[in-house]
Amino acid sequence: MPIPYLQHELFEPNRQLSVGKRTIENVGEAVVIDNFFSFADDISEFLETSWVPSWKNNDKSKNYVDYYDCRIDIPQGPAEFSNQHDYQNIVKDLAMSKLGYKCHSEIRPTSFNIFKWINPPESNSIQSYPHQDGTDMLAAVVYLDKTCDGGTAFYSTVDEVDYEEDEDIRFDVGKYAKLEDVVEANFNRCVIYPGHYFHGAYIDNHSSYMHDTWRKTMVMFFPTMRFYNDNTF
């Protein structure tokens, strides 16, 4: 049965935020916000009952073979309510005040990554492929499953391998990358960081995300002033 919702209500940010900073050695600083959404349980339920399409898939991909890597995008049209995009504005404001990154004022899509293993790796050295979101982007992730195993890993160096992320999300970070820190996932925690940091999803116990248990995160990407290099802010 369809369940109607209003975006400004479902994605209402909590007015009692706990904001801190995390210094990641050899990488940089990140902002950590706890208790981000007022109705995080409802957002998690919204994701739990959604059909989720594949993400980064092709004829050679291990997606839908050894794991499910999916993405939901909710396009952002004109705001129907003045507070519809408050959660994005909070991220941009904190990026400026805490990290010194000024983001463009445009509204970005609401996106979610949904992931679980079919055949989990035996080694904890195998993690999600480290990547960058762009040199002129500001990124944020909100953890929305209550398993919250692992978090977001940050790396100072990443070696090249002979395959791409859309072929296989699995990457031996113990062999090909230097892990500096993992910002722990907590339910309803938001982490903000510059997109040029090498980072990736990190799971301590891969069997935590199997069967009916999915890793659920909201992801946000905001172009910064360097990207536009003009006065449109």
Note the pLDDT of residue 76.
72
Reported pTM = 0.94
Contacts of 63 (CB under 8 A, 6+ apart): 54, 55, 56, 57, 69, 166, 169
d(CA 180, CA 154): 6
| Angle of CA points 107, 111, 115, to nearest 5° | 165
- The CA dihedral of 181, 187, 192, 196, to the nearest 10 degrees, is 50
Domains along the chain? 7-228 (2.60.120)
Contacts of 226 (CB under 8 A, 6+ apart): 135, 136
Note the pLDDT of residue 233.
44
Alpha-helical (H) ranges within the chain are 7-10, 40-48, 86-94, 173-176, 225-228
Q: Give the burial string for 143-160 (b: 16+ CB within 10 Å, else e).
A: bbbebbbbbbbbbbebee
Question: What φ, ψ does residue 196 adopt, rounded to 5°?
Answer: -80, -10
Where does residue 16 rank: exposed (0-12), middle (13-18), buried (19+ CB within 10 A)?
exposed
pLDDT tens, N- to C-terminus, the chain (233 residues): 888 988 889 999 999 899 999 999 999 999 999 999 999 999 999 999 999 999 988 889 999 999 999 999 987 766 788 888 899 999 999 999 999 999 988 888 889 999 999 999 999 999 999 999 988 999 999 999 999 999 999 999 999 999 999 999 999 999 999 999 999 999 999 999 999 999 999 999 999 999 999 999 999 999 997 544 544 44
Note the pLDDT of residue 228.
47
d(CA 13, CA 214): 23
Q: Do residues 213 and 156 lie in contact, with contact meaning Cβ atoms separated by under 8 Å?
A: no
Structure tokens at 20: 């801190």
